[in-house]
A and B are shown apart, each in its own frame.
Chain A
Amino acid sequence: KQEVTQIPAALSVPEGENLVLNCSFTDSAIYNLQWFRQDPGKGLTSLLLIQSSQREQTSGRLNASLDKSSGRSTLYIAASQPGDSATYLCAVKLFGANSKLTFGKGITLSVRP
């Protein structure tokens, strides 16, 4: 059974800091990995999707990397801003898993002005 872990559960950083959010998964036979952002009381917003054949994806100040062999992904946020404060979730999809995503519990990020 695929398990997805995100540690720590919460993180507080000062504005302007570069930071890395970690995600680990137990089954390396993934089809893709997706990073989401969730604001309080809201749904999820997709940030980046990395296919199993890819090593990284970039969007603006965000960069996500994938290392299947070690079962890890990182989300790098450059020059953090208070508006980045949210919960960040990673989710993986296995081959032949009928498209369902298995989520980590998320990292709640607070960027202090």
Chain B
Amino acid sequence: GAGVSQSPSNKVTEKGKDVELRCDPISGHTALYWYRQSLGQGLEFLIYFQGNSAPDKSGLPSDRFSAERTGGSVSTLTIQRTQQEDSAVYLCASSLAPLLAGAQETQYFGPGTRLLVL
């Protein structure tokens, strides 16, 4: 079946502009996660959705970052007034059942959106 998809695959923007990144999780996956991978920094957690609610937003780096999920499916990560330090690869992942043991907890990742802020 189809995996996690993200769009756009690449985004170049000017400092100060707003950007929207989209994630389509695997059908039927209730949990959705956003991570950021910066050069030399490794992967850092941003936000987690269970259905349409976000019980954990602890990783969002500033109030310029927000995310929403509608219909328990597609999610959008919005970065307002982008800064150069926002340049990174933004990865989305989904899982079937985050609170059950076993393979159902496996997180499946999309290919990412490469954001470059000039």
Residues of chain A having any CB pair with chain B under 8 Å: 32, 34, 36, 42-46, 49, 51, 89, 91, 93, 97-106
Q: Which of A46, A100, A101, A104 contacts B108 (CB 8 A)?
A: A46
Q: Using A49-B105, A99-B48 as known contacts, say yes or no to A44 and B33 having CB atoms under 8 A apart.
A: no
* Chain A hits for B4, CB < 8 A: 43
Q: Are B107 and A46 in contact (CB under 8 A)?
A: yes
Q: Which of B98, B101, B112 contacts A51 (CB 8 A)?
A: B101
Given A32-B101, A104-B42, 12 more A-B residue pairs with CB atoms under 8 Å apart are A34-B106, A42-B111, A43-B109, A43-B112, A44-B93, A46-B106, A49-B106, A98-B48, A100-B59, A101-B43, A101-B107, A106-B42
A-B pairs with CB below 8 Å: how many?
64
- Residues of chain B at interface, number, CB under 8 A: 31
Q: Is B65 engaged at the interface, CB distance under 8 Å to the other chain?
A: no
Q: Is B67 engaged at the interface, CB distance under 8 Å to the other chain?
A: no
* Chain B hits for A46, CB < 8 A: 106-109
Q: Are B91 and A44 in contact (CB under 8 A)?
A: yes
Q: Is B110 engaged at the interface, CB distance under 8 Å to the other chain?
A: yes
Q: A49 to B97, alpha carbons, bound, how many Å? A: 14
* Chain B hits for A44, CB < 8 A: 91, 93, 109
Q: Are B42 and A100 in contact (CB under 8 A)?
A: no
Q: Which of A45, A98, A105 contacts B56 (CB 8 A)?
A: A98
* Chain A hits for B108, CB < 8 A: 46
Looking at the assembled complex, report how far the CB atom of B110 sits from the nearest CB atom of chain A, in whole angstroms. 5
